[in-house]
Chain A
Amino acid sequence: GAVVSQHPSWVICKSGTSVKIECRSLDFQATTMFWYRQFPKQSLMLMATSNEGSKATYEQGVEKDKFLINHASLTLSTLTVTSAHPEDSSFYICSARSPSRGPTDTQYFGPGTRLTVL
């Protein structure tokens, strides 16, 4: 299957600083990537859809000025958590949609990035 990587796998930062998380599709070009957030013992929540070369589309309730998304190339999307606070501590997971190989496509997920804000 297709491979999606994330970097870093975990990060600890101080409150008020910004953190950038990278998401890469390693063996396919992804025109669309997605960012999810997952709190302990909860399901994944979609934050935003990132399209290469255009502005991201944010889900309702997600602050676009706080969670900056850039999708500059077909294999890289970045999520920057600006002015992070302890409540932003979470597991952030990206996903890339593979080119359609049939009647429907598949989303492949990265391994996740654990963010802890002190």
Chain B
Amino acid sequence: QSVLTQPPSVSGTPGQRVTISCSGSESNIAGNYVYWYRQLPGAAPKLLIHRNNQRPSGVPDRFSASRSATSASLAISGLRPEDEADYYCSAWEESLGGPVFGGGTKLTVL
């Protein structure tokens, strides 16, 4: 059972917009930065969004994110087949002294 709650899977067709939710609590998302990582099959996680809604250099503006109180969300617009991957949210957990992660959401592009 992950500390942050994500839907196990989402799907969409090419060109569509999908969102992935991430639900936490006062001890993690509220008051701490949220990060989003993308993990392609068989690959390492890669930073997609940092500090709630900031895109690192090289990440297209099709990816956007927001945070509100104890939850966050990632939006992907203009869906492409290569977006198929697992997406993880993460935030600092006060009781742990380190980051916690969501269980991951598998995005399928139909």
Q: Do A and B bind each other?
A: no
On B, residues with C-beta under 8 Å from A are none
